[in-house]
Structures are given as structure tokens and as C-alpha cells.
Amino acid sequence: MFMTGMQEMTLVESLKGEDLLSLDKLETEEVTGLIELGFILKKLAKEGRYPKLLSGKILGMIFEKHSTRTRISFESGMIHLGGHAMFMNSRDLQIGRGESVRDTAHVLSGYLDAIMIRANRHTMVQELADEAAIPVINGLTDIYHPCQALADLLTIREVKGGLEGRKIAYVGDGNNVAHSLILAAAHAGMEIAVATPEGYEPSPDVMETATAIAGKTGGHVSWTSEPDAAVDKADAVYTDVWTSMGQEEETAARVEAFKGFMVDDEMIARAKPDFMFLHCLPAHRGEEVAASVIDGPNSHVFRQAENRLHAQKAVLASIM
């Protein structure tokens, strides 16, 4: 714990030197600690204060897929903290023409203080983390998007004043964003109701792990194929794209399968009147969400996008 001006701030010390690959590997106190630290770092930033906690540190950022928010928020976050971030398109690295993950991990460990990676396969990120001597942060894989979920909960905590006992409805594809959100909500003692079409459910492993976590935190995890049931009296309604990066050839089949899952005015009428609409972005208006909802008065999607920066600063400062 240390003071920046009059503000008391606690890093999540147990994460020092650790990887952040998925939220099931974190203790509940670590997840809630990161959200609180992000909250304080945001408050400081709004006062124009940027504690230089990572002076001289270098983050390498490897991308196998497109990104706007993840890339820019990590880079800005490192600058705020006094360090540097380096963008690497995987196609331009030798890994793009067959150099092994192992060799890459060992080489990069000699140049950098941490790696953030967005990759097609979670198994590749796991291998990178196992081989690297420096911490590895998951910036999205086929299975998880943990930094997104930390920002999502920071956003609810900010607007609602707390997380415990709040209900979040996730409507759409049981994908990477859903998996991390389910785990984060369970850690935070929230009720998370997931609605997906049959065949697009979240992974049973994630549901099982989240249910076990929720058993300790007082949270609750459920699944239904009825979006209206999930959204009933929700404090937050969340959706993501029906077709994730890398699934483009399934687009037509998914549009068909997800009929009735668009978050529209009729659906949100079942949520609490002061519900928050959330979406990790990028969004497709008229597909997973109606324009009137994402651009409506209950939408917090731009606050949520901004909170990627603050939540990730908490991750970076604690890990490095």
C-alpha cells in the first residue's frame, strides 16, 4: 500500500510476476482488488494524476487478430504508468513464418518486462506463458478475454456503487467474452444469467468453475435459452457479436441460429428501469443489439471501453 497525494492505493501484490491468462486462475480477492485499484487509478487520472509505477518498464504487445481498444488502451496505460509499449503484428515476427513459440518466449524474455498477447488459440498463449520468464497477459483468445471482464465489472461498480448481489444478464454467443464475464461475476458475488441458443452455450467447464466460485462468494450462475428470462429484473444487460473473429465462415448460420437474441427495446423492458446496457465492442447495430438500445440512455458502452484503460493499468502495475 502507498499514497499518491491523499489517495491510498493498494497493488494486488500476490500477482507480482504472475501471468493473467484467465480469471479462474485468480483468487477472488485478486479479482476484486484489481477492480478497486482500477477504480482508484481512474479517479487519479481524472484529477490529472498519473503515478509512474512502471518507470522504464517495457510491455511487448503481440497481435494475431485485429484490435482497437486492447491495443490503444494497453499502450496508453503503459505511457500513463511511465513505461513503454511495443506493438508487434505476429505476421511480422518470425513466429509468423514458423519460429517456435518456445524460442520466441525465451528471446522476448530478454528484451521485455511483460508480454500482452491476442491470439487465435488459448493453448498457444498458455505455452508462451509457460516458456517465458516474464509475465504474460491475455488480450483475448478463442476462450477468454479477462481484461475485458475486469473493465466490465469496473464499469458496473462505478455506476451502481457495488457489485455484490447485482444481476447481470448476458444474451448472445457463449464465447470468450461471455466466459470471462461469467467467471468475473462469480468472483464478485453477482448473479449472472446467461441466455444463448442451444448449441452456442458457454463451455461446461467454465460454467462448472464459475458455479464453484459463486458458491463461495454468494453469487449465482445460470443458463437458459430464453433471453427474456435472463433479462428479467437485470441490473445490467450485456451482449457481444454473434460471429467472433476467426468464425467469419459461420456468419450466415449464426444469424439464423441467433434469431430472437437481438437485445432490443422489447427485451430490455424486462430489465430494471435503471439497467445498464453493456457491449465489449465492436458492435453490429441491427444484429446482436438494436441501435435504439446501444445508442440509448441506458448504454454505458463508451464508459466501458474507456475502463479498459483503467482496469488494465491496475493489472500492469500489479503484475510488473
CA distances from 56 to 9, 63, 81, 213, 316 (A): 21, 23, 9, 37, 13
Nearer to ligand CP, 61 or 105 (CB): 61
Catalytic residue among 69, 80, 118, 179, which? Answer: 118
Nearer to ligand NVA, 245 or 257 (CB): 245
- Given ligand CP, ligand NVA, none, residue 244, with its beta carbon under 5 to 8 Å by kind, binds ligand NVA
- Given ligand CP, ligand NVA, none, residue 72, with its beta carbon under 5 to 8 Å by kind, binds none
CB 164 within 8 A of CB 189: yes
* Cell, residue 62: 503481440
- Given ligand CP, ligand NVA, none, residue 159, with its beta carbon under 5 to 8 Å by kind, binds none
Beta bridge partners of 191: 167, 220
In the window 123-152, what residues touch ligand CP (CB under 6 A)? 140, 148
Burial 126-146 (b: 16+ CB within 10 A, else e): bbbbebbebbbbbbbbbbbbb
- Given ligand CP, ligand NVA, none, residue 240, with its beta carbon under 5 to 8 Å by kind, binds ligand NVA
For position 280 contacting ligand CP by CB under 6 A, the verdict is yes
Q: Mark whether 148 is an active-site residue.
A: yes
The burial class, CB within 10 Å (0-12 / 13-18 / 19+), for 25 is middle
For position 191 contacting ligand NVA by CB under 6 A, the verdict is no
Establish how many alpha carbons lie within 13 A of residue 167's alpha carbon, considering only the half-sphere containing its beta carbon: 17
For position 175 contacting ligand NVA by CB under 6 A, the verdict is yes
- Give 201's DSSP letter: P
Give the Cα separation of 245 and 254 in Å (integer): 13
Single out the residue of 26, 108, 192, 280 in contact with ligand NVA (rule: CB under 6 A): 280
Which range touches ligand CP (CB under 6 A), out of 27-35, 65-73, 218-226, 293-301? 65-73
User: 303: closest CA among 138, 139, 176, 159?
Assistant: 159
Nearer to ligand NVA, 11 or 154 (CB): 154
Burial 306-316 (b: 16+ CB within 10 A, else e): bbbbbbbbbbb
User: 147: closest CA among 86, 80, 71?
Assistant: 71
Single out the residue of 73, 104, 176, 196 in contact with ligand NVA (rule: CB under 6 A): 176
- Given ligand CP, ligand NVA, none, residue 68, with its beta carbon under 5 to 8 Å by kind, binds ligand CP
Nearer to ligand CP, 86 or 107 (CB): 86
Binding residue count for ligand CP, defined by CB under 6 A: 8
* Cell, residue 93: 515476427
Which range touches ligand CP (CB under 6 A), out of 28-36, 62-70, 89-97, 203-211? 62-70
Tell me the catalytic residues: 118, 145, 148, 240, 280, 308
